[in-house]
């Protein structure tokens, strides 16, 4: 068998599109001015920055002044999750100890944030930091497919809620969330409470994985804040943007020269921002055609794995999922071992056993949808991209069954697929009912912290 090079980890990062690199290059070499400077080189950089802002705004369906460029999707998430609750609590405290953030009177509140159990760690860990600051945090459970219920969001809202954050599409299992319905539920609740659109609670979505696959028009989605980054859409790493609707107030994370509307100080990364804008435009232009192509390859890979390998479970919704996402638990083996064997064959993929190589915690997403720990440790994620071909899928289907058979022969753990229980020396206790929120810290499912 001839070894191929097959990259199937596009949810982790993507290569920079040559068109993006070409657009960025002049701003490294010729147009290198500081956009805050008043002389010609600075004015030229400022003009390019403003142009990029308009291009991103056109894709998102918002005004350019509603965009804040950042250094990553993680920073954008942190700006939203930390910035909104902190600003509105400070406002409440500064106005009067007996005036609430909504302006309706009553005791000053601690502040309340709602997130889902399957958010990215950028959201989960930021919310945990808020909890340590005295904010109340509600973590909503999801169903077996990873769906967040709009009704559950509405039921969790309180007069003290300042922010709700639910990701547009999950980075691990690919499930696409009902963002429009959740947004409507929040707006309906606000109207019933007599609150204006510019009053809390606001709705944020992490759309890093959805960019390039779904329509991110913020007016259609009904969101107040939205996060995207460049590295998932064939743009440069170290770039991100936060959309914040007019009227939403944020506490800055970074102080200094007052760039980005005094919300994100520091000299703007002009080449990176140009690259992000170009990548987003390209991704949006070819979104439908590429989505159809990838969905066909995705479905072929899922069907092939299910047909050729026994004891495999598909994680995430079978149809309401990102067109490039395949996440399966191949039972009786460890995901990390599969990755090492795949790598030996030139295939790059990911596992749900850990968010990063330094953690041994099982995927909080797989466990949140009700799978036992062993299913999480056995999960493999293939995320296809622009370079993925029919031949690549055929190669994976040729290699993976043999790897699985070899590893199962030496595995000490055997899972009962129907009962969801593990037997053998490696089995954990209470495996069917265990729940982990995000590794560290551990969230209690559906409870307020």
- Active site residues per annotation: 355
**CA 61-192-242 angle, 5° bins:** 30
Strands 379-383 and 325-330, sheet pairing? antiparallel
Kindly state the DSSP code that residue 361 receives in the 8-state scheme.
P
Which residues are paired to 9 by β-bridges?
383
Bridge-partner residues for 225, per DSSP?
Answer: 204, 244
- What CA–CA distances, in Å, run from 69 to 82, 181, 201, 232? 16, 28, 23, 16
Nearest residue to 115 (alpha-carbon basis) of 82, 145, 75:
82
* DSSP-derived 3-state class of residue 100: coil
Report DSSP letters for 191-237, one per residue: HHTT--TTSS-EEEEE-TTTTTTS---HHHHT-SEEEEESTTTTS-S
Residues contacting 94, CB < 8 A, separation 6+: none
Q: Which residues pair with 381 in a beta bridge?
A: 327, 350
- CA dist list (Å): 228 to 59, 209, 244, 252: 12, 8, 12, 18
φ, ψ of residue 338 to 5 degrees: the values are -60, -45
Give the span between the Cα atoms of 440 and 373, in whole angstroms. Answer: 16
Q: 259: which residues sit within 8 A by CB, 6+ positions away? A: 36, 265, 266, 267, 268
In the block, tokens 């993976």 appear at 400
Distance, CA of 73 to CA of 250 (rounded, Å):
17
* Integer angstrom CA distances of residue 308 from 12, 300, 318, 415: 27, 12, 18, 18
């Amino acid at each position: 068998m001839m070894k191929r090079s097959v990259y199937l980890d596009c949810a982790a990062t993507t290569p920079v599109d040559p068109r993006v690199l070409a657009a960025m290059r002049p701003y490294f070499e010729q147009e290198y001015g500081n956009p805050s400077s008043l002389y010609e080189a600075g004015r030229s950089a400022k003009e390019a920055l403003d142009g990029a802002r308009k291009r991103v705004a056109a894709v998102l369906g918002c005004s350019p002044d509603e965009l804040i460029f950042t250094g990553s999707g993680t920073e954008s998430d942190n700006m939203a999750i930390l910035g909104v609750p902190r600003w509105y609590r400070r406002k409440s405290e500064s106005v009067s100890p007996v005036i609430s953030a909504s302006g309706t009177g009553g005791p000053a509140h601690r502040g309340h944030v709602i997130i889902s159990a399957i958010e990215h760690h950028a959201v989960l860990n930021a919310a945990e930091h808020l909890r340590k600051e005295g904010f109340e945090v509600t973590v909503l459970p999801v169903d077996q497919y990873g769906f967040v219920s709009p009704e559950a969001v509405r039921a969790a809202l309180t007069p003290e809620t300042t922010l709700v954050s639910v990701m547009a599409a999950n980075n691990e299992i690919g499930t696409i969330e009902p963002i429009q319905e959740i947004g409507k539920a929040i707006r309906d609740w606000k109207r019933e409470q007599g609150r204006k659109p510019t009053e809390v609670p606001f709705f944020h979505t992490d759309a890093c994985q959805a960019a390039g696959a779904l329509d991110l028009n913020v007016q259609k989605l009904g969101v107040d804040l939205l996060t995207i980054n460049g590295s998932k859409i064939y743009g440069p790493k170290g770039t991100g943007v936060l959309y914040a609707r007019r009227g939403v107030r944020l506490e800055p994370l970074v102080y200094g020269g007052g760039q980005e509307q005094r919300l994100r100080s520091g000299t703007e990364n002009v080449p990176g921002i140009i690259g992000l804008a170009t990548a987003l435009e390209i991704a949006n232009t070819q979104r439908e055609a590429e989505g159809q192509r990838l969905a066909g390859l995705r479905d072929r890979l899922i069907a092939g794995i299910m047909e050729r390998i026994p004891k495999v479970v598909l994680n995430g919704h079978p149809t309401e999922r990102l067109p490039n996402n395949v996440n399966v638990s191949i039972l009786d083996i460890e995901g990390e071992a599969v990755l090492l064997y795949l790598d030996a064959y030139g295939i790059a993929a990911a596992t749900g056993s850990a968010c990063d190589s330094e953690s041994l915690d099982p995927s909080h997403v797989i466990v949140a949808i009700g799978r036992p720990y062993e299913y999480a440790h056995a999960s493999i994620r293939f995320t296809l991209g622009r370079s993925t071909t029919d031949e690549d899928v055929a190669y994976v289907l040729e290699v993976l069954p043999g790897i699985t058979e070899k590893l199962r022969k030496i595995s000490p753990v055997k899972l009962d697929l129907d009962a969801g229980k593990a037997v053998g020396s490696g089995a954990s206790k209470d495996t069917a009912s265990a729940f982990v929120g995000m590794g560290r810290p551990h969230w209690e499912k559906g409870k307020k912290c």
